Amino acid sequence: MPVNLDALLRYHTINHCLQQRGKKWTWEELANACADYADEVAYRDTRSIPSKRTIQNDIKIMRSGDLGYFAPIKNEGGCYHYEDPSYSIKNATLNNTDLQSIALACKVLGQYKGFDFFTDLNQIFEKFESHIQVKLKQNIQQYIDFEKDEQAVGAYYLKPVLDAIGSQQTLCIHYQKFHDSETKAHILHPYLLKEYAGRWYVLGWHQQRQSIVTLALDRVKNIAASNQNYYQKEFDAESYFAHTIGITFMGGKVEEIVLEVEQEFVPYLLTKPLHATQQIVNQERKSTTFSYQLVVNQELENILMSHINHIKVLLPQSLKQSLLVKIKKSLQNFS
């Protein structure tokens, strides 16, 4: 049975509550406890309290064998408690599906073992690896091989930036661009950590520029707390990047991008679209025309250049000219 993280947090919160001897819990009290714990671990800005139906469904699942809990939850006069005071869902036996899920999660998240940010996570891995000595786990991990990256420069700053976002702490970031000889101090009100192409970035409100900016952590030289009051601008990452590929967004306008693609490359775009706005405009025997609603940025141009032998830019003309300049420069490098 697939379970998301929010549901697991609720199960364990309910379990913690019901383990308290001598107390019986109403669904409202359990819902509030779940909301408090979710806010604590997820740095949420708005408190979201589960509904009565959600809590009742959680209890139903915990009572059942769907997750192997079979929790002895009793309802007396609208209040819940464990019939067996020694019971805990943490004592539930792991089945093969559970072990497979743990093995896959360890393999996926284990890629980050070299990051300081994941020190606490490493300790969890070590517990899994020392206490769940099963052949199944070992076999699954042998069957999966992810692309391996060297430890990212700037990963040292991941945890302090995340802590600052969670506590709404303004930062003074000393930053040096690749081609600058000196560092510059930036007062940033951080909102989001984002990874793209193996690099980490922090987005936030820039005190001096009075706008949202993106700073690459691999160019950060030092981070310190600032005494400036934190400015909470309404920011939604999904909306902010809705018409953007990659990390670069300078406030440009959304344009219609029209590409004519050779038929042999079309299946690649159908199985892995360049962007969520991808639509087919026209289909012919030798080519297919796609349209996108995007802000033109460096990442978009880089992707198009990587497939330039299969793609022809029809619109906009400015994008076509920009790529043409890059192509001519590339030809000069090989002349």
With respect to residue 111, please indicate whether it lies within any of the assigned structural domains.
yes
Per-block average pLDDT, block size 10, for the chain (335 residues)? 70 91 92 82 63 94 86 93 89 60 58 50 48 49 61 74 91 91 93 87 92 92 93 88 89 92 94 94 94 95 93 95 92 84
Does residue 249 form part of some domain? no
Whether residue 161 sits in one domain with residue 235: yes
The answer to whether residue 148 sits within a structural domain is: no
The answer to whether 275 and 285 are in contact (CB under 8 A) is no
- Exposure of 216 in the CB half-sphere (CA atoms within 13 A): 14
Alpha helices by DSSP H, listed for the chain, are 5-18, 27-42, 52-63, 96-109, 119-131, 135-142, 158-167, 237-240, 266-271, 298-306, 317-333
182 belongs to a structural domain: yes
- Residue 204 is predicted with a pLDDT of 94
Q: Does residue 108 sit in the same domain as residue 86?
A: no
Domain-embedded: residue 199: yes
Whose CA is closest to 173, among 162, 161, 163?
161
Domain termination site, one of 114, 142, 170? 142
Give residue 175's region: left, alpha or beta (phi > 0; psi -120 to 50).
beta
What is d(CA 325, CA 51) in angstroms, rounded to the nearest whole number?
A: 57
DSSP 117: G
Enter the tokens of residue 174. 């000393």
Q: Is 100 found in the same domain as 86?
A: no
Tell me how far apart the alpha carbons of residues 93 and 78 are, in angstroms, rounded to a whole number: 29
Q: Is residue 23 part of a domain?
A: yes
Q: What is the CATH number of the domain that holds 267?
A: 3.30.70
Number of domains in the chain: 4
Looking at residue 141, its pLDDT comes to 55
Last residue of a domain, one of 240, 264, 292: 240
Q: β-strands 311-315, 255-262: how paired?
A: antiparallel
Report the C-alpha gap between 158 and 151 in whole angstroms: 12
Pair (318, 264) in one structural domain: yes
Contact 69, 82 (CB under 8 A): no
Six-digit token string for 62: 């915990």
Please tell me whether residues 232 and 211 are part of one structural domain. Answer: yes
Q: What is the CATH number of the domain that holds 12?
A: 1.10.10
Last residue of one domain, picked from the residues 52, 67, 91 = 91
Structure confidence at residue 113 (pLDDT)? 46
3-state helix, strand, coil split of the chain in percent (to 5) is 40, 20, 35
pLDDT of residue 242: 92
Say whether both 164 and 215 belong to one domain: yes
The answer to whether the beta carbons of residues 134 and 156 sit under 8 Å apart is no
Residue numbers of the domain that contains 137: 96-142
CATH number, domain with residue 219: 2.30.30.520
